[in-house]
Chains A and B, each alone.
Chain A
């Protein structure tokens, strides 16, 4: 294998990893603070993609319509997140895992059926927006510029979340709450308000990632489950609730899948879960996670 071929496969893996990171970071953030595994995160992502399509169609702004639609739909999804947290999840924090799982699983069914009812079962597609329609050349080999857009967006999100969690006062509270929520509450910090805002942020990220996948592939029913399976692999490998863990997990899953496809395509998907199984055996809390007390 020549260098350019391997390099290209590596880049494909990075692109896939960035996409996974976009989705998984929201999932991981929510879990890290709220300790709720939001099963419906993928559904919010799917809803974001469908909404982007409709808003894009309705706006009819020629060149930059997609970016406006992306922002609007992410905001709408954030609003839906607010609704979900306020009306459902808030009541479940004190309950056990099974209730939370059932509630968020129910949300998957509700959102899927809503999408079916509203958009039907058609698969939709948005053309790639300017200026990302063409390819750029690296070592004489083309690489789609939209993939760069996704990679850059992933990097921006990493820095934003890192800044938010490690450099702001809110971040201090978030980390403290993730560590010991009773203690934080005892210090007079309104935990319900904190939880709502984190969940809304997670939903916003889900909507945003759904929106940017819209021009990438196709928008269709089932994309929620498709992504959430791999996102779980990402967060299990990296460590639930850890930002660097999610980044590393996305990178690993992206690369394992990409090179798996090259060398043993039949087993590419299995490789991901083998890595996950190995991590679970050696470090059940993930590479950057911390053991449950």
Chain B
């Protein structure tokens, strides 16, 4: 009896611990409770009522810092707009909610934002897994969401809904651009390994890499693919397993703290001297790594000041540094752009009515911090740029940055309209 009790306790512990891990891992299957009749989100609003903006973010684990940056970016944009009289004469009210990076909490908080807070629009979240759960709820309630960090292509392609627009390069675009960059730098490389976090984001990035490298180098070969769990802190076994394969180059979509740990553990093996490597080396990783960031290693990113030092971006850097005392990362940049995309669409529609705003948004061109981009009417994907570069020291900054930066406009790497329709045929989207 006691044995049984102990077993039961273990089962309890593991479900409790693994629940959030599983939550990120797969596509959520929402229960019947979403079947409640779709509420009318925006009650016929007075023209002078504030526009209610819901920020839904994942204040947990690896997403915590990213979410903080994003909300800061949103706040700066909202304050700016409100100081100038708001959008079509209406102020913006910002309501921030936390998903704890769990799909069930994400769905619940989204529902609450829509039903109780009566938000007109949503921005967020961080995790691709949570994003797909949020998407089910907001699409059913017919509330528009701008996704600026969670970048799984499923949001706009596989599970397309008109109620989502994406202003971050999706997994497909990002990986295609990075693969081309790597191929240009190392055209002779034929044998590859990959290492990516084992969830929606990593899986999709590496699938796109495999697709593109076959196109660029038809006789190429992927020798080995490593799938560490998100949050892995010990990569030693992965590193030795990859080096044992003697690849010509390694493509990776590790990011954040995982990439910091990987880099520190790979360096003593001489990994970066022996094997060309590309990963999501962006500002927070450089700040954490300091001098441990490996010079000359390839990097891709989503657009912060050292990737795109245009005047508008540098002006934002000053504003952000005043507000937070730190340099803004790309997460803050994209969140800031999202608010201005909404502003442009609402002004064009002259209304906060969701359907009218969506129509106005299709084909709209925004002069963003990352230069101009357009929302493609077909799938609501923004032609946002993808950036690649090489890690280097710069005496002007207390951390390493990039040199030889390449900016690839989104429309050069996104899935063609025919390609999108082909996927839709498989997933049953009609449009």
Question: What residues of chain A have their CB less than 8 Å away from a CB belonging to chain B?
Answer: 1, 5, 8-9, 11-13, 15-16, 19, 37, 39, 97, 101, 105, 116, 120-125, 127-128, 133-135, 142-147, 213, 215-223, 225-229, 232, 236, 257-258, 261-262, 265-266, 268-269, 280, 284-285, 291-293
Q: Which of B12, B13, B18, B226 contacts A261 (CB 8 A)?
A: B226
Separation in Å of the A232 CB from the closest CB of chain B? 7
B264: which of A1, A125, A220 is its contact (CB, 8 Å)?
Answer: A125
When the two chains form their complex, are residues B288 and A123 in contact, meaning their CB atoms are under 8 A apart? yes
Q: Which of the segments B2-10, B80-88, B169-177 contacts the partner chain?
A: B2-10
| Complex alpha-carbon distance, A8 and B14, angstroms | 31
Known contacts A134-B268, A142-B268, A257 near B261 by CB under 8 Å: no
User: In the complex where A146-B268, A218-B257, A284-B6 touch, is A223 in contact with B233 (Cβ < 8 A)?
Assistant: yes
A147 to B65, CA, bound (A): 29
- Chain A residues whose C-beta falls within 8 Å of the C-beta of B315 in the assembled complex: none
Q: Which residue of A lies closest to B289 (CB)?
A: A125
Interface residue from A5, A12, A125, A222 paired with B236 (Cβ < 8 Å): A12
Shortest beta-carbon distance, B149 to chain A, in Å? 14
Q: For window 193-251 of chain B, which residues contact chain A by CB distance below 8 Å?
A: 198, 224-227, 229, 231-241, 243-244
> Cβ of B385 < 8 Å from any Cβ of A?
no
Q: How far is the CA of A229 from the CA of B284 in the complex (A)?
A: 27
C-alpha gap A261/B244 in the complex (Å): 12
B236 and A232 contacting across the interface, CB-CB below 8 Å: no
Nearest A residue (CB) for B5: A97
Residue numbers of B with Cβ under 8 A of A are: 2-3, 5-7, 9-10, 12-14, 16-18, 20-21, 59-65, 67-68, 198, 224-227, 229, 231-241, 243-244, 256-258, 260-261, 264-265, 268-270, 284, 287-292
State which of A121, A218, A221 has its C-beta within 8 Å of the C-beta of B261: A218
Closest chain A CB from B47 CB (angstroms): 39
Taking a contact as CB atoms under 8 Å apart, the answer to whether B292 and A124 are in contact is no
Q: Is the Cβ of A223 less than 8 Å from the Cβ of B231?
A: yes
**Once bound together, how far apart are the Cα atoms of A127 and B13, in whole Å?**
34
Q: Is there an interface contact between B268 and A220, defined as CB atoms closer than 8 Å?
A: no
Summed over the interface, the residue pairs from A and B with CB atoms below 8 Å come to a total of 171
Q: Please list 11 pairs of residues, one from A and one from B, whose beta carbons are closer than 8 Å in the complex, sorted by A's number.
A: A37-B9, A121-B68, A125-B292, A127-B291, A133-B268, A134-B268, A217-B234, A262-B240, A265-B226, A280-B10, A292-B2
User: Which residue of B6, B17, B233, B269 contacts A217 across the interface (Cβ within 8 Å)?
Assistant: B233
Q: How far is the CA of A142 from the CA of B272 in the complex (A)?
A: 13
Who on chain B is nearest to A1 by CB?
B244
Known: A127-B291, A222-B231, A261-B226. 15 other contacts (CB 8 A): A8-B240, A12-B236, A12-B239, A101-B13, A120-B65, A125-B288, A125-B292, A216-B233, A217-B265, A218-B260, A222-B62, A225-B231, A226-B232, A229-B17, A265-B226
A269-B229 contact in complex given A121-B68, A125-B260, A146-B268, C-beta closer than 8 Å: yes
Decide: A284 and B226 in contact? CB cutoff 8 A: no
Q: Kindly identify which residue among B68, B226, B244, B288 contacts A218, using a CB–CB cutoff of 8 Å.
A: B288
Q: Is the beta-carbon distance between B234 and A19 smaller than 8 angstroms? A: yes
Q: How far is the CB of B222 from chain A (nearest CB, A)?
A: 12
State A113–B81 Cα separation when bound (angstroms): 33
B3 touches A127 (CB 8 A): no
- CA of A144 to CA of B62, assembled, Å: 26
Collect the chain B residues with CB atoms within 8 Å of residue A127's CB: 290-292
Name A14's closest neighbour in chain B (CB-CB): B236
CB distance from A279 to the nearest CB of B (A): 12
A226 touching B231, Cβ below 8 Å: yes
Give the distance to chain A from B292, nearest Cβ to Cβ, in Å: 6
Tell me the bound Cα distance from A226 to B243 in angstroms.
25
Contact of B227 among A101, A144, A265 (CB under 8 A): A265
In the complex formed, the residue of A with least CB distance to B63 is: A121
Closest B residue to A292 by beta carbon equals B2
Q: How far is the CB of B233 from chain A (nearest CB, A)?
A: 4
Q: Find out whether the CB atom of B233 lies under 8 angstroms from the CB atom of A144.
A: no
Q: Is the CB of A123 within 8 A of B260?
A: yes
Knowing A105-B16, A127-B290, A261-B241, say if A122 contacts B236 (CB, 8 Å).
no
